[in-house]
């Protein structure tokens, strides 16, 4: 059952971006109720499980083509979302009368899920050798484990972000500046890794 343990390790490793994103969402969204954190975690978990599966099913040729562009797509989406947060947060600091809490957005969460998971497409083609799978069913179990790890780690991140938000005592603009900065940095790191300037 070595492949099973390796699947969990693989899932935890892939979920680290989800952790950063979910902390950001917990920090920034001021109207998270009991259900919304589960939706966010579900989007991130499904993204991390389904995108590698898609890469695996579409095959090596597609994976190599996507590998040339996935980091640019992820960078662009995270820069767009994070840049908007930064702009709104700084605007709220400069003009306090414009301060409004940032509310949860289904569309924004879905964009984050795609931006965070798209680079995992290329992972799918190598998953069989990475986890030493010997049977097809093990591959699908591995993808399910990766999704579950990302879901659980995202939930932890969301509650961590909510805790940090409470410490800030409703200073929306600070939350948005911090959250936006995290997304921009995350996108930049993803781009640099995709261009082989850095490795993780």
pLDDT at site 170: 63
Token pair for residue 68?
């040339």
pLDDT at site 197: 81
Token pair for residue 120?
């995992």
Distance CA 25, CA 180 (A): 10
pLDDT at site 112: 92
pLDDT at site 64: 66
Q: Are 132 and 10 in contact (CB under 8 A)?
A: no
Provide the residue ranges of all domains of the chain, joining segments of one domain with +.
2-194
pLDDT beneath 50, residues of the chain: none
pLDDT at site 138: 84
Q: Are 87 and 185 in contact (CB under 8 A)?
A: no
pLDDT at site 99: 67
Distance CA 35, CA 40 (A): 9
pLDDT at site 34: 86
Distance CA 198, CA 186 (A): 13
């Amino acid at each position: 059952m070595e492949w099973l343990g390796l699947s969990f390790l693989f899932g935890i490793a892939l979920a680290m971006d989800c952790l950063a994103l979910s902390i950001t969402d917990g920090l920034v969204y001021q109207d998270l109720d009991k259900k919304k954190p589960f939706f966010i975690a579900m989007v991130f978990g499904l993204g991390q499980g389904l995108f590698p599966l898609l890469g695996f099913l579409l095959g090596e040729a597609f994976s190599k083509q996507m590998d040339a562009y996935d980091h640019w797509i992820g960078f662009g989406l995270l820069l767009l979302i994070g840049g908007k947060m930064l702009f709104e947060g700084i605007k709220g600091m400069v003009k306090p009368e414009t301060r409004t809490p940032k509310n949860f957005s289904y569309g924004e969460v879905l964009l984050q899920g795609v931006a965070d998971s798209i680079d995992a497409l290329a992972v799918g083609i190598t998953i069989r050798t990475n986890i030493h799978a010997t049977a097809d069913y093990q591959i699908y179990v591995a993808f399910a484990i990766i999704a579950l790890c990302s879901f659980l780690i995202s939930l932890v991140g969301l509650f961590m972000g909510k805790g940090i938000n409470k410490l800030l005592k409703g200073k929306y603009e600070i939350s948005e500046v911090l959250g936006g900065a995290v997304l921009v940095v995350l996108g930049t790191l993803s781009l640099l890794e995709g261009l082989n300037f850095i490795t993780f």
